[in-house]
Amino acid sequence: MSARVGSGAQPPGWLTHLAAQAGTVPAEWISQLLPPEGGGQRSSAVLMLFGPGEGGRGDTRLVLTQRASTMRTHASQVSFPGGGREDGDADLVATALREAQEEIDLDPASVDVLGTLPTLHLSVSDYDVLPVLGWWRRPGPVHARDPAEVERVIVVPVSALVDPANRFRVRHPRGFIGPGFDADGSLVWGFTGLLLDRVLRLAGVDRPWDHELVRDLPA
């Protein structure tokens, strides 16, 4: 799906290119974590929110959150704002925007939805996850509304994410190895790291980096 971009800061060309590709890319190209037949236990969505740099100029930035260390699942992990669908949500796009509002006080009216990527599956929680691409047309202040759920909000320049100095692969104790990023001193890995790696590649903004550099997941 896609939406018309309203007045305000306009997205960079690579992001509109990404939005155009998002509806046609096969899910298998992003991940082998595909929804099982009949779907997962619950539907959910995450908001991949990109916005302009300071003063509406400069480097495009991405909004991430760091989950609370007391959470039962994915504690302390860096993730995109998002969560499970509720009965009052019109669709999963509405879910992503509502969750972002609840988690970081994002004004949904400040966001243009550019499109969605294929639905993926998180086996650890049995969730089907729809990634929603958003452009933060009118950036405003955001913060962690509930410290028991989100410890902090991370707004990181895309140029920092694609910097080879901040790229590596992460090895889980169970043997899984996947893309990793250093985002303002925080480790991005797992589902979020995988999705971010594919999105930056699909947008054509990724840079060559050392895929042989593997770091063990910190305790």
pLDDT, position 80: 97
* Residue 58 or residue 61, greater confidence: 61
CATH code for the domain of 131:
3.90.79.10
**Is 198 within the bounds of a domain?**
no
Strand partners, 177: 171
Tell me, yes or no, whether 172 lies in a domain.
no
Tens digit of each residue's pLDDT (9 = 90 or more) over 128-171: 999 999 999 999 999 999 888 899 999 999 999 999 999 999 99
Answer yes or no: is 178 within a domain: no
Is residue 31 in some structural domain?
A: yes
Residue 45's CB is within 10 A of a number of other CB atoms, namely: 29
Instruction: Please give the model's pTM, rounded to 2 decimal places.
Output: 0.92
- Per the domain annotation, does 138 fall within a domain? yes
Q: Has residue 38 been placed in a domain?
A: yes
Q: Would you state the pLDDT for residue 70?
A: 53
Q: Which helix (H) or strand (E) holds 14?
A: helix 13-22
- d(Cα 133, Cα 162) in Å, to the nearest integer? 18
Q: Is residue 37, in this structure, part of any structural domain at all?
A: yes
For 64, the token pair is 């991430």
Nearest Cα neighbor of 111 from 139, 152, 79 is: 139
C-alpha separations of 181 from 62, 84, 100, 152, 153 in Å = 13, 25, 22, 17, 16
**Domain range holding 30?**
13-156
- pLDDT computed for residue 1 by the predictor: 39
Number of independent structural domains in the chain: 1
pLDDT confidence bin for 2, thresholds 50/70/90:
very low
* Residue 208 within any structural domain of the chain: no
